[in-house]
Amino acid sequence: MDELDQNLISALAADSSTPTAQLARKLGIARSTLQARIERLERTGVIAGYTIRLGEAVERRRIRATVLIHVEPRSTASVLQRLRPMRAVEACYTTTGRMDMVLLIVGETTQELDETLDAIGAIPGVRDTESLIHLSTKFDRRT
């Protein structure tokens, strides 16, 4: 990836709905060149897809939590298989230390979070969980 690819990825990450012609003008290249770059980045897997970023009004309403999970030995694959279809689970990371996984979960209500936590705790192979409800965001470099 060269500097143009990196600038293109940054621009798409900021707003993937920007029209191709506008993006080409911003980057100072021909529209056809831009389109060829995007197609190559998609084909080689650098760009895996496009998504939306929810607005501030929606994000403020959502309740987030971090869930730490202790998994029984040799149960990681089956636990992951059960977690993957849960829409409330936004991300799952394996980790070192006394807990084996870290989940980021989201819900519209505390009841929804509680139901998700109950469902996670009921997964065969989940030995223990610890939940940390997010209260306020002081800063987020991802946005």
pLDDT tens digits for range 73-107: 999 999 999 999 999 999 999 999 999 999 999 99
Contact 103, 120 (CB under 8 A): yes
Q: Output the pLDDT for position 57.
A: 63
Q: How confident is the model at residue 56 (pLDDT cuts 50, 70, 90)?
A: low
Q: Output the pLDDT for position 59.
A: 64
Q: What domains are there in the chain, each with its CATH number?
A: 3-43 (1.10.10), 56-133 (3.30.70.920)
Query: Whole-number mean pLDDT of the chain?
Result: 91
Give percent of the chain above pLDDT 90.
72
**In angstroms, rounded to a whole number, what is the distance separating the alpha carbons of residues 122 and 114?**
12
Burial 71-85 (b: 16+ CB within 10 A, else e): beeeeeeebeebbee
Give percent of the chain above pLDDT 70.
93
The pLDDT of 58-73, averaged and rounded, is 88
